[in-house]
Structure 1
Amino acid sequence: MRLTGVIPPVCTPLTPDHQVDTASLTRLVDHLLAGGVDALFVLGSSSEVAYLTDTQRRVVLDTVVGHAGGQVPVLAGVIDMTTPRVLEHARVAREAGVSGLVATAPFYTRTHPDEIRTHFRTIAALGGLPVYAYDLPVSVHTKLSAGLVLELAAEGALAGVKDSSGDDGGLREVILGRAAPFSVLTGSEVTVDSALWMGADGVVPGLGNVDPHGYAELYRCASRGDWEAARAEQERLARLFEIVRVGGSRMGGSSSGLGAFKAALHLRGVIDCPVTALPQTPLNDDETGRIGKLLAAAGLL
């Protein structure tokens, strides 16, 4: 069946010594489920997957799958540079009991579209679970073309796509060309209403960690055709999304965005510690205070 609704990419809370904080992670899962999400996506960009060791990845998988207990599907990112490495992550994720795999195009290596096609076909053939493509050119430096996505979907190699490319025209091309039950999910926190209006099936919002209720409400409004209410909720969430810019130019975009999500979760009492993985730059007290003001303005404190 087509995957739909709100599917947050679950943050990975860490202890001050940079180990996975499983107690905070289970509270975060409860927070998301109480917020009305439809599935969980672990080990994606907002999970800091690029920073986690293989051992830490397994801890996250076991903790989330075990605590969710089948209430909602759990998708696992199997993101790595090349196909053999992705297949090893897929094996571990499958053993942990996830419902699907999320993979990017290969990266670091310089690849050709034929090699990307082979990459996804191989994961689909050997991974043992439905595969969702993660279109993330800002990080992997390859844009998945609509033609390639639709070709792989038509032959059954892909069950869906998470589009974080920022290419609205390409997103619409996939929506228009897809056949059921292929899932089209937007990764943009701030244009969800327009993506759903175009025919997208759902959203994978990093900000959904902070305000899952808001994204669930936005999706409900869109589902019943109340586009004015959906727009109003989207605009509230867009203002809240300003938290990711609080870090400014003194740190990288990942440090600012992921640090903001974790600071907000800490301020909301969901996780114990807002630390991000090394070598990311931490937010300072002034920046955390500004995030608190934005949370309060959004009605979350």
Structure 2
Amino acid sequence: MTLPAPLTGVVPPVCTPLTPDREVDVPSLLRLVDHLVAGGVHGLFVLGTTSEAAYLTDRQRRLVVESVTAHVGGHLPVLAGAIDMSTPRVLDHVRQVTAAGADAVVVISPFYSRTHPAEIARHYRLVAAASPVPVLAYDLPVAVHTKLAAELVLELAADGVLAGLKDSSGDLAGFRAVVTGARDHPGITGFSALTGSELIVDAALAVGADGAVPGLANVDPHGYVRLDALCRSGDRERARAEQERLCALFGMVSVGDPARMGAGSSAIGAFKAALHLRGVIDCPATAEPQVPLSPDEVRRVAKFLTGAGLL
């Protein structure tokens, strides 16, 4: 389908359920998609950070996109991450995911080697020139060690290179500069400004965001769709209460013992444990080399679900 311009609402970064031997569990993936669709989401983002795209093989990445796009049948836009270290490798992923049916690609800055803003701009221009679908930038400095400057994003948007931004930088002021700059620029139309935060969706929408891409929406899509609707209706008090409920639920990402696992293992492990506990996916396995949650940590996830009224 044609990507809405701008894309609005809740667009979860879809977890990738795995079997115990770390293959893509397609039946669980499709049940997860049905769970998200039933929650009222407005689009799906596969092969992002929450999808564990960095840990999947190229074959697994393509299987995810093919499975999801075939299952939704054009009823929802499907965005796919094209995440890799260099422009040629990203272009390979763009070809693969668009051939598999993705409606847009979400592209991160080059990483591993240090890059100059001019090289980042060249990267996006080359990708957009070769992509048959719209390109959204993915601002994730914790992973690529480079912050996308608002000025660069707006320049690329004005030139028709970027159709939007998924901002996972945590910099609300910088995100606001993109939102207001895109709104006020006469050469920018239909630009999608999406926050990747679970915790400040209400604030991001208040400053003009078009939507949100929260990983926790895998667990509670109804909550984020409800939050989006409350914000858009101007019901600030109920929106605040819903955001605070979701903030409390997000505490599950810290159940993992930092002495034996990283924050990513803890967060993605918690999301998958929650989905398993809710009966959505068959197995909570995370991709190697991430460390799995212990039984006690899973019990703590269950307490968060109970506290949020989800279990």
- TM-score where L is the length of structure 2: 0.96
Q: Which residue among 197, 206, 211 is the counterpart of 2:215?
A: 206
1:271 aligns with one of 272, 281, 296: 281
Q: 1:43 matched to which residue of 2?
A: 47
Q: Which residue of 2 aligns with 1:177?
A: 181
Deviation, 1:98, is 1.0
For the residue of structure 2 that corresponds to 1:134, the secondary structure is strand
1:242 aligned to which of 230, 238, 251: 251
Partner of 1:257: 267
What's 1:129 paired with?
Answer: 133
| Residue of structure 1 in register with 2:230 after alignment | 221
The residue that corresponds to 2:185 in the other structure is none
Unaligned runs of 5+ in 2: 183-187
Provide Cα deviations, 1:94-135, integer angstroms capped at 9, x if missing partner.
111111000000000211110000000111100111000000
Matching residue of 1:291: 301
Give the match for residue 2 of structure 1: 6
Other-structure match for 2:73: 69
Between Structure 1 and Structure 2, how many residues are aligned? 301
Q: CA deviation at 1:165?
A: 0.4
Q: How far did 1:71 drift?
A: 1.2
SS in 1 for 2:242: helix
> What is the rounded CA distance, in whole Å, between the counterparts of 2:102 and 2:59 in structure 1?
17
Q: Aligned partners of 2:235 and 2:49: how far apart in 1?
A: 31
Which residue type is aligned with residue 305 of structure 2? L
Offset at 1:229? 1.1
Matched, 1:54 2:58: yes
Other-structure match for 1:165:
169
Distance 1:281 1:97 in 2: 32
What residue number does 2:106 align with? 102
2:84 is paired with a residue of what secondary structure? coil
Deviation, 1:180, is 2.6
Residue type at the aligned position of 1:14: L
Q: Aligned partners of 1:71, 1:36: CA distance in 2, in Å? A: 12
- Which runs of at least 4 in structure 1 moved beyond 2 Å after TM superposition? none
Give the whole-Å Cα distance in 2 for the aligned partners of 1:31 and 1:69: 16
For the aligned residues, what is the CA RMSD?
0.6
**SS where residue 184 of structure 1 aligns?**
strand
Q: Name structure 1 gaps, 5 residues minimum.
A: none
**Counterpart position of 1:19:** 23
- Cα distance in 2, alignment partners of residues 14 and 54 from structure 1: 15
User: 1:120 is matched by which residue type in structure 2?
Assistant: Y
Aligned residue identity for 2:205: L
1:161-200 Cα offsets, whole Å, 9 max, x none, are: 0000011110110111004311100001000000000000
> 1:47 is paired with a residue of what secondary structure?
coil
Q: Among all aligned residue pairs of Structure 1 and Structure 2, give the percentage whose two residues are the same amino acid.
A: 64
Q: Taking structure 1 as the reference length, what is the TM-score of the superposition? A: 0.99
Q: Distance in 2 between matches of 1:109 and 1:76?
A: 24
**Equivalent of 1:193, from 188, 198, 202?**
202
User: Per the alignment, in what secondary structure is the counterpart of residue 50 of structure 2?
Assistant: helix
